[in-house]
């Protein structure tokens, strides 16, 4: 059995040494890097070949990759790297890695074409000046073969270990045992659907109710399918920390149920949470965990892989034992883990790490997307960019002299765009070329200055550069899926200013290639109805299968009361506060216990809660507040004790409306005083128009479907197990409408069953 490794991965594993050093920045973006490669290739003529595919073998290793270019007339192979700023500031270990790649490609080409010697060139292309700096070496084929075999020899022990691990992993997965005595109702149906789409290389939208064990019901069958489908990795992607923890717990149960299961499980943690020294920069002169990082990495990597599940605490412990950065150790271990648990952004963001790794290494990856109803809004955020004029004004006051002119030019182009705007919010049909040119020039000037900066740059300048870069990336892909709008505001000094925004409305064009890059993808949630809304907005292929798993619960467990005598519309909220407070009090007096009351906004919540507190001071109550920190959220949930009594007031769509588990009598009921419809404003009205053009259902796609999804999620907090019983009040006259009731769960008994076609 051969171990296949990319040239870059081989060189990074064996040739990287010294410090972790991110100072030679800002690096060109991926788009700039590709443009730089094309620009260099366009300058070559005649016998020049670009993107030369090469591969070779050494014992059990097969090494493959693409050399940037080869000129047969000059017998010259080029390795092209894009950069900004003076090359003198490039860390030595970066240059050493680039030469290693060039030499490996040189040997592979000599071997393929029978060359006795070859000229190698490192071509550094400056994105700013468009100048090339070239370093050349002449090597004999024998010397390059010796270098290649030396790298392979150092990698071979690891490769053999990896081959043995893969064989043991797949053998164990073939005997994988379900971690419980039996499947829950609906869980087997879900698991079979996941296994089938994995076998067929398709996508699945799975709507499955809370309480059937969706995490185990999706993870177990995909692990079971791993050997037969030749999957290299499984990426379990979640929107929030509780979802990731559920996946880690499920993986631990699955591993424990099968003896000698060598599954490598890794949790990826955000940089701001994993960083041990947030006050220091990521280089060896500043951070002790960056100093000598690559020298200590092999021992840290080996220790982490021996420690069992590599969750955040275990990874931190292994990293600190070997004095390396936990965050970057986690990034390195993603190459070697079997199951990686992380946030959506690791696969779906424009600079997603796992997606980039999978493409570079040609991994066959299976995706599991937890609570997938959240992906629509999260993806919109990933492909939205904003620029604040107040930030620009601040920089113009403090920026170095070299940046004054480009920042002033940008400010003039910005003001020209706004000169006729006489309303707070305005959309524009296109992004003016003059503005884009000014942004491009300002971004390039900042990048050049940052690349030469003698000290750590001001955070505000760095952030503005990153904001420009994101804006320009999205400007290149601007289309009917997004809006370009301007919003008037005031800057920090109270002067008129504005926000420029490329606002994504339909993430489908950006997400479709990410689903295509996966071997299979299962998106699951308790609320994925109607299915067409999610298929359309997420860009899932037409072949996507769907399944609607029947609930194990029935209407005898949950009493759903429609309160049609109250309107919670914005203009009616003042008069609705007293009737809602009275309703909560009556239900609490009838059946004391723990309840959640959900409202559409903090203002509405406080209107009702203050009335309730004044009139019923004997009833315990607690409120969600704006921007609650993690300890405060935990304290809010801790009030829901078994056998406890009181009312928790919360905002629909917030931290306590989904993703929390309060089984038994920790929660006996909920009051939902809103349809959850997004606010009617200029942005949403633009979205409605765009959704109507794209899908013919503007109001439903913008307001109704997202709103009712939040209602169902909130109501789902009440019944968590087959033993639970509770009550939900849906407070608004519009809950009586048939188009609303069709979107509510069938097992509530309010309308005929609304099932999805399985398509399996």
Q: What CATH number is given to the structural domain containing 563? A: 3.40.50.300
Whether 673 and 597 have beta carbons less than 8 Å apart is answered as yes
311 lies in the same domain as 449:
no
Question: How many beta carbons lie within 10 A of that of residue 651, not counting itself?
Answer: 23
Residue with tokens 């296994």: 195
What is the per-residue DSSP string for 189-246? HHHHHHHHHHHHT-EEEEE--TTS-HHHHHHHHHHHHHHHHT--EEEEEESSHHHHHH
Condensed to tens digits (0 to 9), the pLDDT of residues 715-724 reads: 999 998 888 9
Judge whether 529 and 547 are in contact, CB under 8 Å. no
Same domain, 624 and 715: yes
In terms of residue numbers, what domain contains 732? 558-744
Q: How confident is the model at residue 759 (pLDDT cuts 50, 70, 90)?
A: very low
What are the pLDDT digits (tens) for 560-611?
999 999 999 999 999 999 999 999 999 999 999 999 999 999 999 999 999 9
Which H/E stretch holds residue 266? strand 265-267
Between 311 and 447, where is the model more confident? Answer: 311
Within a domain: 567: yes
Q: Which long-range contacts (CB under 8 A, 24 or more apart) does 487-492 make?
A: 487/424, 487/425, 488/418, 488/421, 488/423, 488/424, 488/425, 489/388, 489/390, 490/390, 491/389, 491/390, 491/393, 491/394, 492/390, 492/394
Claim to verify: residue 370 and residue 392 sit in the same structural domain? no
Q: In whole angstroms, what is the distance from residue 371 CA to residue 705 CA?
A: 16
Report DSSP letters for 664-732, one per residue. Answer: GGG--EEEEES--PPP--HHHHHHHHHHHHHHS-HHIIIIIHHHHHHHHHHHTTT--STT--EEEEEES
pLDDT of residue 126: 85
User: Does residue 231 share a domain with residue 377?
Assistant: yes
How many Cα atoms are found within 13 Å in the side-chain-facing hemisphere of 569? 9
DSSP assignment letter at 598: E
In this structure, are 111 and 208 located in the same domain?
no
Residue pair 656/636 in contact by the 8 Å Cβ criterion: yes
In a domain, 632, yes or no: yes
**Secondary structure of 126-137 as H, E, C letters:** ECCCCCEEEEEE
Residues 311 and 460 grouped into a single domain: no
Burial of 614 (0-12, 13-18, 19+ CB in 10 A): exposed
What is the residue-wise DSSP string for 55-120? EEEETTEEEEEEEEEEETTTTEEEEEEEE-S-GGGS-HHHHHHHHHHHHHHHHHHHHHHT-SEEEE
The two beta strands, 482-490 and 203-207, are: unpaired
Are 242 and 717 within 8 A, CB to CB? no
Specify if 591 maps to a domain: yes
Give pLDDT, residue 508.
97
CATH of the domain at 94: 3.90.320.10
Query: Residue 731 has what pLDDT?
Result: 97
Asked if 77 and 121 sit in the same domain, the reply is: yes
pLDDT greater at residue 544 or residue 82: 544
Nearest partner of 309 among 333, 327, 289, 343, judged by Cα: 333
362-399 pLDDT per residue, tens: 899 999 999 999 999 999 999 999 999 999 999 998 88
Q: How many CA atoms does the CB half-sphere of 707 hold within 13 Å?
A: 24
Looking at the structure, tell me whether residues 58 and 74 fall in a common domain. Answer: yes
Cα distance between residue 180 and residue 90, in whole Å: 55
pLDDT surpassing 80 at residue 128: no
Average pLDDT of the residues of the chain: 92
Does residue 627 lie in a domain region? yes
Least confident of 32-41, 142-151, 242-251, 551-560: 32-41
Q: How far apart are CA 512 and CA 524, in angstroms?
A: 17
pLDDT at residue 659 tops 90: no
Residue 227: predicted pLDDT:
96
Both 372 and 238 in one domain: the answer is: yes
Per-position DSSP letters for 678-697, written without gaps between them: PP--HHHHHHHHHHHHHHS-
Say how many CA atoms lie within 13 Å of 216 toward its Cβ.
22
CA distance linking residue 151 with residue 105, whole number of Å: 13
CB atoms within 10 A of CB 320: 15
Who contacts 336 (Cβ-Cβ below 8 Å, separation ≥6)? 162, 264, 301, 305
Residues 285 and 351 in one domain: yes
Total structural domains in the chain?
Answer: 4
Q: Is residue 171 part of a domain?
A: no
Spatial separation of the C-alpha atoms in residues 714 and 324, rounded to whole Å: 42
At 30 the pLDDT is: 65
Q: Which of 157, 176, 211 is the last residue in one of the domains?
A: 157
Pair of tokens at residue 659: 């993703």
User: Is residue 511 in some structural domain?
Assistant: no
Nearest of 611, 559, 564, 566 to residue 590 by alpha carbon? 559
pLDDT given for residue 455 in this prediction: 64
Region 275-296: mean pLDDT is 89
**pLDDT-based confidence at residue 706 (cuts at 50, 70, 90):** very high
Please indicate, yes or no, whether residues 102 and 236 belong to a single structural domain of this protein. no
In degrees, rounded to 5, the angle at the alpha carbon of residue 252 between the alpha carbons of residues 250 and 257 is: 95
- Is residue 489 within 8 A of residue 361, CB to CB? The reply is no
> Per-residue pLDDT averaged across 294-301, rounded?
93
| Nearest residue to 633 via CA among 662, 603, 612, 654 | 654
Q: What is the reported pTM? A: 0.91
Q: How would residue 22 be classed by pLDDT, with cut points 50, 70 and 90?
A: confident
Q: Which of 523, 550, 573 is the last residue of a domain?
A: 523
The CATH number covering residue 433 comes to 1.10.275.40
Select the more confidently predicted residue: 420 or 320: 320
Assigned domain for 421 exists? yes
pLDDT at 454: 59
Residue 165 lies in a domain: no
Same-domain status, 367 and 418? no
């Amino acid at each position: 059995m051969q171990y296949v490794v990319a040239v870059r991965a081989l060189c990074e594993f064996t040739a990287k040494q010294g410090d972790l050093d991110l100072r030679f920045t800002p690096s060109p973006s991926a788009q700039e890097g590709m443009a730089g490669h094309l620009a260099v290739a366009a300058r070559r003529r005649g016998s020049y070949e670009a993107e030369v595919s090469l591969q070779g073998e050494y014992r059990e290793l097969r090494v493959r990759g693409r050399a940037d270019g080869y000129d047969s007339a000059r017998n010259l192979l080029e390795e092209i790297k894009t950069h900004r700023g003076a090359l003198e500031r490039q860390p030595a270990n970066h240059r050493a890695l680039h030469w290693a790649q060039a030499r490996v490609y040189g040997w592979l080409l000599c071997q393929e074409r029978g060359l006795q010697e070859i000229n190698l060139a490192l071509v550094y292309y400056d994105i700013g000046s468009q100048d090339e700096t070239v370093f050349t070496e002449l090597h004999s084929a024998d010397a390059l073969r010796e270098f290649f075999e030396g790298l392979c020899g150092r990698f071979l022990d690891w490769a053999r270990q990896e081959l043995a691990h893969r064989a043991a992993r797949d053998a164990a997965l073939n005997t994988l045992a379900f971690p419980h005595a039996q499947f829950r109702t609906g869980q087997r149906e879900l698991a079979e659907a996941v296994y089938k789409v994995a076998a067929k290389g398709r996508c699945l939208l799975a709507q499955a109710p809370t309480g059937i064990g969706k995490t185990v019901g999706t993870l177990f069958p995909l692990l079971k399918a791993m050997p037969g489908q030749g999957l290299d990795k499984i990426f379990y992607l979640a929107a929030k920390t509780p979802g990731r923890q559920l996946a880690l717990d499920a993986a631990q149960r699955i591993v424990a149920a099968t003896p000698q299961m060598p599954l490598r499980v890794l949790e990826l943690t955000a940089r701001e949470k994993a960083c041990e020294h947030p006050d220091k920069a990521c280089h060896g002169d500043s951070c002790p965990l960056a100093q000598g990082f690559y020298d200590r990495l092999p021992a840290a990597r080996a220790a982490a892989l021996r420690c069992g599940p590599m969750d955040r605490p275990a990874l931190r412990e292994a990293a600190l034992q070997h004095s390396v950065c936990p965050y970057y150790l986690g990034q390195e271990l993603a190459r070697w883990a079997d199951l990686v648990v992380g946030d959506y952004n690791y696969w779906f963001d424009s600079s997603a790490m796992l997606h980039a790794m999978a493409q570079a290494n040609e991994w066959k990856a299976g995706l599991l997307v937890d609570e997938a109803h959240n992906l629509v809004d999260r993806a919109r955020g990933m492909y939205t960019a904003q620029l604040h004029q107040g930030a620009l004004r601040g920089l113009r006051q403090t920026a170095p002299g070299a940046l004054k002119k480009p920042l002033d030019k940008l400010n003039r182009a910005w003001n020209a765009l706004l000169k006729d705007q006489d309303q707070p919010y305005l959309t524009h049909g296109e992004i003016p070329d003059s503005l884009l040119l000014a942004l491009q020039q300002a971004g390039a000037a900042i990048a050049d200055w940052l690349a030469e900066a003698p000290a750590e740059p001001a955070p505000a300048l760095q952030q503005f550069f990153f904001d420009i870069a994101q804006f320009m990336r999205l400007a290149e892909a601007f289309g009917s899926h997004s809006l370009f709008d301007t919003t008037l505001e005031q800057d920090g000094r109270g002067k008129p200013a504005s926000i420029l925004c490329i606002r994504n409305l339909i993430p489908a064009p950006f997400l479709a290639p990410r689903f295509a890059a996966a071997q299979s993808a299962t998106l699951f949630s308790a609320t994925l109805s109607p299915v067409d809304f999610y298929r359309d907005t997420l860009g899932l292929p037409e072949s996507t299968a769907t399944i609607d798993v029947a609930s194990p619960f029935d209407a005898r467990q949950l009493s759903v009361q429609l309160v049609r005598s109250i309107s919670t519309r914005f203009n009616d909220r003042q008069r609705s506060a007293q009737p809602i407070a009275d309703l909560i009090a009556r239900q609490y007096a009838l059946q004391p216990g723990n309840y959640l009351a959900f409202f559409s906004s903090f203002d509405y919540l406080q209107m009702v809660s203050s009335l309730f507190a004044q009139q019923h001071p004997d009833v315990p109550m607690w409120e969600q507040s704006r921007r609650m920190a993690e300890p405060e959220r935990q304290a809010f949930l801790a009030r829901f004790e078994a056998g406890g009594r009181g009312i928790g007031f919360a905002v629909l769509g917030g931290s306590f409306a989904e993703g929390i588990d309060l089984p038994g009598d920790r929660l006996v009921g909920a009051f939902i005083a809103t349809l959850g419809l997004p606010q009617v404003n200029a942005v949403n009205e633009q979205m409605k128009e765009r959704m109507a053009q794209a899908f013919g259902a503007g109001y439903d796609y913008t307001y109704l479907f997202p709103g009712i999804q939040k209602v169902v999620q909130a109501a789902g907090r009440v019944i968590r197990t087959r033993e639970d019983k509770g009550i939900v009040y849906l407070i608004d006259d519009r809950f009586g409408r048939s188009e609303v009731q069709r979107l509510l769960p069938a097992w509530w008994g309010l309308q005929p069953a609304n099932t999805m076609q399985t398509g399996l």
